[in-house]
């Protein structure tokens, strides 16, 4: 974990953009570098061939089929994509954008998510102006609400920087320590080493049980939330 932090987590501080919070509780944002550090696995940096090369279409071994535009932005095709590589303890960086029209008005709820080990979802939603809840952006989906709403408006690019600790097992394979996640959304701490109570609903009937390593899922079966600059640093 120290390597991930040294790679660019703590650089400088600035007052966060968080209109949903009372003025006396505005969180402090940390400027986190979006650049992948040495040793990171680059899953998507804007090249069209990275989607089929690094991801499967969910429930298959078919190459991922999301479209990538001239700006290097990936748009879902109503299917999730799942990494071919598996990860355990890791630092995950994901940039996403909830859809908006030409006037900046939200289009759909912006419902998506990042599935750690294919089992533990950090929720994506257009939560700008909302109050914290188990289904809001930054939540450990339906298990732990974010400490604050750190969402930007629909149509603006946002970031997740997630430090994930995989579950621990005894010699018999029994879970003795649940998976944990620390989540920065747009540089704002929204989950502080919180434990998952178990796998979340992103399993959808597959990827059962808890494991030492598993794939990363980018959810695309709900709304057309777009993605760019996705990388994982194994820890």
Residue 205 lies in a domain: yes
pLDDT in tens, 63-99: 999 999 999 999 999 999 999 999 999 999 999 999 9
Residue 27 lies in a domain: no
Residue 9 lies in a domain: no
Residue 152 is part of which domain span?
40-234
Residue 174 lies in a domain: yes
pLDDT in tens, 42-57: 999 999 999 999 999 9
pLDDT in tens, 120-172: 999 999 999 999 999 999 999 999 999 999 999 999 999 999 999 999 999 99
164: CB partners within 8 A, 6+ apart: 87, 89, 90, 91, 92, 116, 117, 120, 179, 180, 181
CA 16 to chain centre: 19
d(CA 140, CA 121): 6
Residue 226 lies in a domain: yes
183: CB partners within 8 A, 6+ apart: 122, 138, 140, 146, 160, 161, 162, 163, 189, 190, 191
Residue 3 lies in a domain: no
The tally of domains found in the chain comes to 1
Kindly report the CATH number assigned to the domain that includes residue 222: 2.60.120.560
Residue 71 lies in a domain: yes
Residue 50 lies in a domain: yes
């Amino acid at each position: 974990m120290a390597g991930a932090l040294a790679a660019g987590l703590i650089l400088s501080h600035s007052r966060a953009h968080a209109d949903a919070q009372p003025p006396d509780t505005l969180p402090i944002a940390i400027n986190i570098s979006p650049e992948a550090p040495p040793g990171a696995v680059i899953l998507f940096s804007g090249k069209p061939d990275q989607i089929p090369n690094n991801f499967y279409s969910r429930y298959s071994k078919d190459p991922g089929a999301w479209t990538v535009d001239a700006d290097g932005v990936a748009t879902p095709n109503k299917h999730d994509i799942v990494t071919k590589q598996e990860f355990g303890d890791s630092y995950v960086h994901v940039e996403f954008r909830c859809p908006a029209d030409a006037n900046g008005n939200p289009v759909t709820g912006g419902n998506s998510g990042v599935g750690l080990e294919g089992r533990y979802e950090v929720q994506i939603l257009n939560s700008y102006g909302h109050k914290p809840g188990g289904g809001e952006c930054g939540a450990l989906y339906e298990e732990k609400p974010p400490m604050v709403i750190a969402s930007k408006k629909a149509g603006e690019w946002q970031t997740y920087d997630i430090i994930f600790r995989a579950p621990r097992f005894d010699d018999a394979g029994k879970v003795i320590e649940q998976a944990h996640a620390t989540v920065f959304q747009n540089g704002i701490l929204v989950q502080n080493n919180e434990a998952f109570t178990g796998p979340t609903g992103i399993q959808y009937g597959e990827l059962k049980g808890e494991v030492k390593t598993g794939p990363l899922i980018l959810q695309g079966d709900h709304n057309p939330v777009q993605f760019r600059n996705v990388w994982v640093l194994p820890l």
